Structure 1
Amino acid sequence: MRVLLNMKRLLGLFTLVVVLAPICVRSLNPSLNDDVLGLIVFKADVQDPKGKLASWNEDDNSPCGWVGVRCNPRSKRVTELNLDGFSLSGRLGRGLLQLQFLRKLSLARNSLNGSVSPNIARVDNLRVLDLSENSFSGDIPGDFFRQCGSLRVLSLAKNKFSGKIPDSLSSCSTIASIDLSSNRFSGSLPSGIWSLYGIRSLDLSGNLLEGEVAKGIEGLNNLRAISLARNRLSGKVPDGIGSCLLLRSIDLSENSFSGSLPEPMQRLSLCNYLNLHGNSFAGEVPQWIGEMKGLETLDLSANKFSGQVPSSLGNLQSLKVLNFYANGLTGSLPKSLASCTNLLTMDFSQNLMTGDLPSWVFDSGLQEVSLSRGKHGGKMDFPLKLTAENGLQKLQVLDLSHNSFSGEISSSLGNLSSLIFLNLSRNSLVGPIPVTLGELKFLVNLDLSRNQLNGSIPEEIGGAVSLKELRLEENKLEGKIPTSIEICSSLSTLVLSQNKLSGPIPAAIAKLVNLQNVDLSFNILAGALPKQLANLPNLVSFNISHNNLQGELPAGGFFNTISPFSVTGNPSLCGSAVNKSCPAVLPKPIVLNPNSSADANPGSLPSNVGHKRIILSISALIAIGAAAVIVIGVIAITVLNLRVRTSTSRSAAALTFSGGDDFSHSPTTDTNSGKLVMFSGDPDFSTGAHALLNKDCELGRGGFGAVYRTVLRDGHPVAIKKLTVSSLVKSQGEFEREVKKLGKVRHHNLVALEGYYWTPSLQLLIYEFVTGGSLYKHLHEGSGGNFLTWNERFNIILGTAKSLAHLHQHNIIHYNIKSSNVLIDSSGEAQVGDYGLARLLPMLDRYVLSSKIQSALGYMAPEFACKTVKITEKCDVYGFGVLVLEVVTGKRPVEYMEDDVVVLCDMVRGALEEGRVEECVDGRLQGKFPAEEAIPVMKLGLICTSQVPSNRPDMGEVVNILELIRCPSEDQEELGST
């Protein structure tokens, strides 16, 4: 036994020696192993779910061949560590402090959290530190930048840092670029920041900073760009800003700055972007603004400027965007603006301006003109009898609403062939609607309401095939509703109320399957309602009150729950909504004449008359019985419908009364209230049940269900997806587990899942509400008359790629990537939604899934059609590739021509083979795009749409490729936007 124990002790000692030996060797020769040790310690502190750091082996003598590591070729010491988008999580340990020769540290777009070591910025040779787009939190230590050495680029953007910005930042004397945007920094601006004389770019936007901008900015002679937007800063802008002669971009929007504009600012002749939107600047817009001759964007909207628009604006020859919306400006538009030949957008709406509409508005090449809510007057005599050279082909948005224009609408409006949005409402216009409006093939919104127009609605209106919203209410229009309206297949809003329209409601309206809101009230329409209206799938409101309509309301669909207020004032209408039963349709009664005879002899009765009476009585009884059965059946069905409606009402109404706080809370569940869980915040809704039952808050419908907008008690809007595949959800436990997994997935480019609601018959998903509309609408339906610039398109592509890469890192396949599922927020960032829904529905097989996402025609990978090929993340890569081509070309994935079908991937691939791929770029960009970026991006899209899944890159690789396309050189990587 003793021998056995001694052998075990010897074996233990041997093992200890083997383990300690490498450590002893490294401690004896640290110069060769510091980098290896530091990186291995760093790796031990983080989680690497994708195995990106698998090549990091502690037994290697040098880390120079490891992924993400770059060394000096002579000294073999680590100089760069670039782990962008590696899906790393965990905390940032002390291991990196061993890398004494490190020049660049980039850990952007990961999920690292916790605080940041105060020593990380003290590495002597560090020039670039990028920790952006992570989840770092807490205060930055006061001495964090005390020994920042040769640091040139610092980015901590899009994290959760809080507290004050350390004054020690002033110690970074060599710094050229600082980006601390989109955090939670508070307090005042650190005074030492104005002593960083070499700084070129400063971005502190999207924080909680307050107080005034102190003097000292005049010393920043190298400053090119400054953004203090979306903070709580106040006071006056210091005069010293005019000494920063190299400034090209100034963004002070959405603060509380006041006073007048500092006069020395006129010296900034190189400045091309000045955004002061959403402040309290007052006084007159100074004449010297015309000295800033480099301006391309001038946004002074939502301030308190008064007086006249300075004529010196005509000196701004490079001006493209001019926005004076929501001020107190008076007078008329200066004639000198006609000299701004590059001007694309002009917005003077919500001011107190007067005067006639100048002719130069229509021959200056403008794309968007908004002069609404002013006091403009004069006759509506458009000087439009011009040729295409005068710019008529470019105007896309014209808003002259809420003014005092009179006269007739000129037929020359038909010359504005690119018009998307036309609003002439709330004026004093008279005469007929010009038939030439039907020539506007791209017109999406037409609002001529609240004028004094007369005549009929022209049949030619059907020629405006892109119409989505038509508003003609409160005029003096007569005649019938034209049947040609059925050609406008995209129409979702039709408002013709308070006119003198007559005749029947045409059955053609029932062909407009996208209709959501219809108002035909207060006319003299007559006849019966077309029964086909019940088939309209997206109706939210249908107001026909105060007409002369008659007969029974359509049965089914929206009309089962139509509000009584929508049908009142039609005495001859019948149905439950008007609380008036319709006459029953019974068989015509059979009357027996007792004086009739089978022969010609009067006064004699036939021998079988009694028998005939019995037979007729039985027939009558049978008829009456059948009618009774029908009536009873109708009553029974009505009662069942009422019960179903009541049950649904109880389920939806339960949203207001039951709730949960977070993952750790489990609200009680019963058949009446259901279970509501919010991952954070207050779970109560202010209009939740109303939105679900009455559909007046419905945003749209997809393969998996309808989406509604509602508001939390604190005023926070959310989007609710009501799943229509309840029969496929078999297990509450499994459903909740998957939802909570999706709820934990957070990324800057993903629509956040904020909670869920469960009953056995009703499941809801609660998302954050994104205001900017879908990418599809921006590309194909216009958005306020603006089309996406190349830079905006590239950023949307990159943001979408990042979001998909993040999903794949969490083993989530989107399945349904398409432009209508990519939303654009108020900052122009891509927000991808509808991800992971197939994960909630374990009963979905490939056939059902394909049918659910059949709306994604053109985006679906070919393996969906092959049962033997596994569905993987590469399906998302295929859909992303199609999306890339759609964004660059502006064309839909599948275009249906008169006698042909054009598939976008095939078209671009063919153009590439013929050497004319550059011609595929969206024509609206008009050559204003860098070919060195656009062509590689299209080629990347084609690679992603390879028929063979293994030939497609993964989304992490796609993100890296896109970043190389945008920043191909090392200098650009280091200096960023400096």
Structure 2
Amino acid sequence: MHPCVFTILSLMMLRLVTVYGYHQLVAVEGGGGDDTNGVIRNKCLDMERHALLLFKAPLQDPDGSLSTWRPDEHDCCQWKGVTCNNQTGHVTELDISDYNLGGEISQSLLNLSYLNFLDLSYNSFGGTIPTFFGSMTRLTDLKLNSNNLNGTIPRCIGSLTELRHLDLSANSFYGIIPPEFGNLTNLQYLYLGVVGRCRVENLHWLSSLSHLQQLGMDGISLAKQNHWVDVISSLQSLSWLSLDGCELSQVMYPYSSSFLNSSSSSIEVLYLGNNSLTSSMYRWLFPLTTNKLQILDLSSNMLDGIPKYLGNLCSLESLSFANNSAVVKFPGFLYTLSGCTSLTLQELDASYNQFIGPLSDDIQKFSSLRHLWVSHNHLNGIISDKVWELPMLEEIDVSSNSFRGAISKNIGKSKAFEIYLSENQLQGVPSTDHMSNLSYVQLIDMNSCNLGPHFPKWVQTLRNLTRLHIANSKISDKIPMEFWDTWPSQLRYLNLSSNNISGEGPDLSSNFDNGSVMDLSSNSFSGPLSNVSSTLALLNLSRNKFNGGISFLCQMVGGFLEVLDLSHNLFTGKLPDCLWHLKLLKVLNLGHNNLSRRLPPSIGYLRELEVLDLYKNNFSGELPLSLKNCTSLNLMNLGANKFSGNVPVWIGENLWGLYVLILRSNNFFGTIPLQLCYLENLQVLDLSMNNLQGTIPSCLNNLTSMVRERFLPPPPPNTYSILTNWIIKKSGNGYSNSSEYVDHATIEWQGDEREFSRSLRLLKSIDMSSNNLTGQIPYELTDLYDLIALNLSKNSLLGKIPLKIGQMKKLLVLDLSKNFFSGGIPSSMSQMSLLNYLDMSFNNLSGRIPTSTQLQSFEPSRYEGNAGLCGPPVSKKCPGDEESEVPLVIGKSKGEGEDVDEVWNWFHIGEGCGFATGFWIACGALLVNSHGRRVFFHFYDGVEDWVYGKVALFIEDLRRVAYM
């Protein structure tokens, strides 16, 4: 007998015995608790309560989500996640999704005989899906999505013949989708988007599911499924179909010609995104696109336009064409949709393409349009006045295009709630009279438009405004004081950054909703701050002229503050000892001010703190012991202060998550603690310009982030991650506020100070220069293969340079100057082909300088002070050299300037394939397609992020190769 059959029969017998025993128990106890009316009270049965406790027993519950499931609590119907039938008391629903549970799923669930809804999604269960689910014949809704279940999908699941709903999505299955799913003939809802390594060998089993109404197979390979359109078309009840990322572009013959003219598809919702489809697919799409179709998603493919028949779908309400390769005129695109589709279409997403031309008057034909997204294209000309007259329009996003001219006076006629005009060449605004008619608008984004030089008074007429973004808008003016009294406690987002707004600092004590965002950075505000609202989640006042103390922090009691950036101002005084109020704080940046005295002990209450930046102040004294309680720290920059004492050992013992540690330019003394070697995530270590003594720890090769390439994947949406950008999103009423905090740090680079921001996570650097370190360079240091900058200059180091230093092939910067090194320059250094900055001057080195493109390309001054060195590029000839001058190896002169070609070479090293693989893991499809590339590199600006810029070129190069 097949094992699956034996298991199912056994469990069926167990279930029969259990149910029989229960009914006998009811008979003995007088009907199981009937009240005077003969109706069972809403109180769970002992047998089912016991089954739930058995289910809980093997689970891992780190958050205590099932804390109400206790033996002493007799009514399990009151337990979290449990629902019972009001009349029978039987457990009918078990919803424990997103509880962070793990461990074994117990078969005690079989004793819940009347369970009709089970949701175990968004947990961390492991192993294969338990085979006992095949015996749960009463179950009508099963959800296991977004767990970490591994292994193949068990074929026994095909015995669940009573199932109506089956959801196994977002797991880690692999292998073939069992054709036994075809036995589930009563299924109405089937979702197998496992986002794993599953594939379908034969899709014909799907034809048996004649009652199927919804089907999701996202991420499952259908590459071998010729005629899959025939199978889908045979499902007469199917109304919802999602085949996102199913490798459909590899299907050779997706349909039979007989379906071209005889299709009777009932599909209303169709998702086909992320399949690399070209426009040739429109032939097989035709049978699936009848006039019943309401939602069509063709995003993230390689389509260069749309066919005419899409304009004749008289029920189509939503069309997503985002992130394709279409280089077409937008008026022509609208014309194609101008049939009856133009009367029903409510959502049009054509963003992140290469559309050209204007937003023409043809838009007026789309009278039902509610949402229009055409951002990140190459649209130009003026924005048609007709767009503001669309009677149903709620949201319009035309940002990041090349629209020009004045903003239309007709904007006052719009009924839109959200208006995005940012990143265009728009200038000026209509009069206050016209703008005051925007009584509906709640969000307006004119970032990087030309609104100046005067502060736009029309803003104060928008009484329903909750989000205002007019950063970088060339405003050089003072803000009217009444501006801050315009909105009664409804403002959720205000961004006036990167203008030249002046005047006294505003009263920030009111007018903000809970969890709001305020960014006034990079302006010319001045004066002290006395009152700040405790409802703010992000406050960025950096790069202004604020002065006075920061005692206002003590007023933010019970607040929501998560990000506070007061850097680059003129604040003075001490950091007040009241920080226990800021328990949610994740970023504290007070760098580049005149703050002084010791750090307060209350800083240890910031248990959620991930960024602490106090760079360039006058803080003094030893670091408080309480700081070791900030175990969530990822970046700690205490450089350029007057801190003293030993480098605390608890930094390495407690702050294990650090990836940036900067203690440069202080008064630390003593030896470098070995505990720093515990910081496996450390990528930037700067101990320079202190009074440190002793030797360089040989255990530095334990800093594994510098030993191997390790790029972390992007964070999930709406979460924080210090390795990317800080994102705050507070949603309400259907829309969200967003802002960001980007890590940055000032680091000595090629002899100069430079501020790294978005490229900081790519940097792997050690700087121990300007101390009193002695001894030799430990040979273990050369194991840091991924290091790109090493500065040990201005110490008292001696001995020979390690022979294997050349295996650090990714070094761009190497400074060993002003020490007492002796012997020759190791020949292995000729392998360091990426060196962009080298200084070995003022040591006791001797012998011939090894020959390589890089070593001979530096100025002779980089080798001066070593009387024994000979050979190019120094003038001294080595013994045996011919009288004729030895020509320099052809290469680029490095000097003091930066050479971005060397960064380019860094990404083309010998193990380039491995690097590219790691980089794809880090960046994923976000960077492969033009959509993600434009978003990810949108913020690159200027010299400080030249490393980041070369990464962009690298990605573009790989993309071209991929599509050749």
Query: Is 1:413 paired with 2:676?
Result: yes
Query: Letter of the aligned partner of 2:307 in structure 1?
Result: A
Residues 468-510 of structure 1: per-residue CA shift (max 9 Å, x gap): 5343444444444433333222233343344444444342223
Query: Letter of the aligned partner of 1:569 in structure 2?
Result: G
Query: Is 1:357 paired with 2:623?
Result: yes
Query: Is 1:249 paired with 2:536?
Result: no
Q: Which moved more, 1:440-449 or 1:470-479?
A: 440-449
Alignment partner, residue 528 of structure 2: 260
Shift of 1:283: 1.3
Shift of 1:359: 0.8
Shift of 1:61: 10
User: What are the residue-to-residue correspondences of 1:476-495 with 2, within 5 Å?
Assistant: 476-495=772-791
Alignment partner, residue 427 of structure 1: 690
Residues 1-55 of structure 1: per-residue CA shift (max 9 Å, x gap): xxxxxxxxxxxxxxxxxxxxxxxxxxxxxxxxxxxxxxxxxxxxxxxx9652432
Query: Is 1:527 paired with 2:792?
Result: no
Query: Is 1:52 paired with 2:305?
Result: yes
Matched-pair identity in %: 27
Shift of 1:434: 4.5
Q: Distance in 1 between matches of 2:852 and 2:820?
A: 25
Query: Is 1:371 paired with 2:638?
Result: yes
Query: Letter of the aligned partner of 1:84 in structure 2?
Result: S
Query: Letter of the aligned partner of 1:120 in structure 2?
Result: V
Q: CA separation of 1:223/1:572 partners in 2, compared to 1, >3 Å: closer, same or farther?
A: closer
Q: CA separation of 1:363/1:696 partners in 2, compared to 1, >3 Å: closer, same or farther?
A: same
Alignment partner, residue 900 of structure 2: 699
Alignment partner, residue 424 of structure 2: 159
Q: Distance in 1 between matches of 2:641 and 2:624?
A: 15
Query: Letter of the aligned partner of 2:836 in structure 1?
Result: V
Query: Letter of the aligned partner of 1:363 in structure 2?
Result: N
Local SS of the residue matching 1:311: coil
Query: Letter of the aligned partner of 1:261 in structure 2?
Result: L
Q: Distance in 2 between matches of 1:502 and 1:828?
A: 35
Is contact 1:238–1:262 with CA below 8 Å preserved after alignment? no
Q: Distance in 1 between matches of 2:678 and 2:814?
A: 29
Alignment partner, residue 402 of structure 1: 665
Is contact 1:55–1:66 with CA below 8 Å preserved after alignment? no
Q: CA separation of 1:224/1:566 partners in 2, compared to 1, >3 Å: closer, same or farther?
A: closer
Q: CA separation of 1:544/1:195 partners in 2, compared to 1, >3 Å: closer, same or farther?
A: closer
Is contact 1:317–1:340 with CA below 8 Å preserved after alignment? yes
Alignment partner, residue 572 of structure 1: 868
Query: Is 1:284 paired with 2:549?
Result: yes
Is contact 2:318–2:348 with CA below 8 Å preserved after alignment? no
Alignment partner, residue 324 of structure 1: 590
Q: Name which one, 1 or 2, has greater alpha-carbon Rg.
A: 1
Q: CA separation of 1:53/1:305 partners in 2, compared to 1, >3 Å: closer, same or farther?
A: same
Q: Which moved more, 1:98-107 or 1:115-124?
A: 98-107
Q: CA separation of 1:823/1:104 partners in 2, compared to 1, >3 Å: closer, same or farther?
A: closer
Structure 2 residue runs of 5 or longer lacking an equivalent are 1-301, 321-333, 709-744, 749-761, 909-913
Local SS of the residue matching 2:451: strand
Local SS of the residue matching 1:192: helix
Structure 1 residue runs of 5 or longer lacking an equivalent are 1-48, 450-465, 586-630, 649-690, 709-720, 722-774, 782-787, 808-818, 840-852, 861-870, 876-978
Alignment partner, residue 96 of structure 2: none
1:187 to 443, 453, 458: 453
Give the number of equivalent residue pairs.
590
Residues 571-604 of structure 1: per-residue CA shift (max 9 Å, x gap): 333335443333338xxxxxxxxxxxxxxxxxxx
Shift of 1:561: 3.6
User: What are the residue-to-residue correspondences of 1:511-660 with 2, within 5 Å?
Assistant: 511-584=807-880, 631=882, 635=884, 641=887
Does 1 or 2 have the higher relative contact order (CA < 8 Å, sep 6+)?
1
Shift of 1:343: 1.6
Shift of 1:438: 4.8
Query: Is 1:226 paired with 2:479?
Result: no
Is contact 1:228–1:251 with CA below 8 Å preserved after alignment? yes
Shift of 1:553: 2.7
Q: Distance in 1 between matches of 2:422 and 2:874?
A: 59
Alignment partner, residue 94 of structure 1: 361
Local SS of the residue matching 1:178: strand
Residues 758-808 of structure 1: per-residue CA shift (max 9 Å, x gap): xxxxxxxxxxxxxxxxx9899989xxxxxx9xxxx99x965763447999x
Shift of 1:320: 1.0
Q: CA separation of 1:777/1:376 partners in 2, compared to 1, >3 Å: closer, same or farther?
A: farther
Alignment partner, residue 34 of structure 2: none
Shift of 1:273: 1.1
Query: Is 1:140 paired with 2:436?
Result: no
Query: Letter of the aligned partner of 2:863 in structure 1?
Result: V
Q: Distance in 2 between matches of 1:517 and 1:109?
A: 37
Is contact 1:533–1:554 with CA below 8 Å preserved after alignment? yes
2:929 to 801, 825, 834: 801
Shift of 1:65: 8.6
Q: Distance in 2 between matches of 1:83 and 1:274?
A: 34
Shift of 1:833: 6.4
Query: Letter of the aligned partner of 2:405 in structure 1?
Result: G
Q: CA separation of 1:829/1:82 partners in 2, compared to 1, >3 Å: closer, same or farther?
A: farther
Query: Letter of the aligned partner of 2:360 in structure 1?
Result: G
Shift of 1:433: 4.0
Structure with the higher fraction of residues in helix conformation: 1
Local SS of the residue matching 2:626: helix
Q: Distance in 1 between matches of 2:317 and 2:899?
A: 55
Q: Distance in 1 between matches of 2:462 and 2:515?
A: 15
Shift of 1:318: 1.0
Alignment partner, residue 885 of structure 1: none
Q: Distance in 2 between matches of 1:838 and 1:364?
A: 37
Alignment partner, residue 656 of structure 2: 393
Query: Letter of the aligned partner of 1:179 in structure 2?
Result: D
Residues 53-110 of structure 1: per-residue CA shift (max 9 Å, x gap): 432699x696959966999999955544443345321122222234444433333232
Alignment partner, residue 236 of structure 1: 504
Query: Letter of the aligned partner of 1:236 in structure 2?
Result: E
Alignment partner, residue 137 of structure 2: none
Shift of 1:113: 0.5
Q: CA separation of 1:578/1:803 partners in 2, compared to 1, >3 Å: closer, same or farther?
A: same
Q: Distance in 1 between matches of 2:516 and 2:523?
A: 20
Query: Letter of the aligned partner of 2:577 in structure 1?
Result: S
Is contact 1:699–1:707 with CA below 8 Å preserved after alignment? no
Local SS of the residue matching 2:578: helix
Query: Letter of the aligned partner of 1:560 in structure 2?
Result: Q
Query: Is 1:510 paired with 2:806?
Result: yes
User: What are the residue-to-residue correspondences of 1:1-150 with 2, within 5 Å?
Assistant: 51-55=304-308, 78-141=345-408, 143-148=409-414, 150=415
Is contact 1:402–1:426 with CA below 8 Å preserved after alignment? yes
Local SS of the residue matching 1:186: coil
2:575 to 294, 297, 309: 309
Is contact 2:342–2:366 with CA below 8 Å preserved after alignment? no
Q: Distance in 2 between matches of 1:75 and 1:823?
A: 36
Q: CA separation of 1:800/1:181 partners in 2, compared to 1, >3 Å: closer, same or farther?
A: farther
Q: Distance in 2 between matches of 1:830 and 1:568?
A: 29
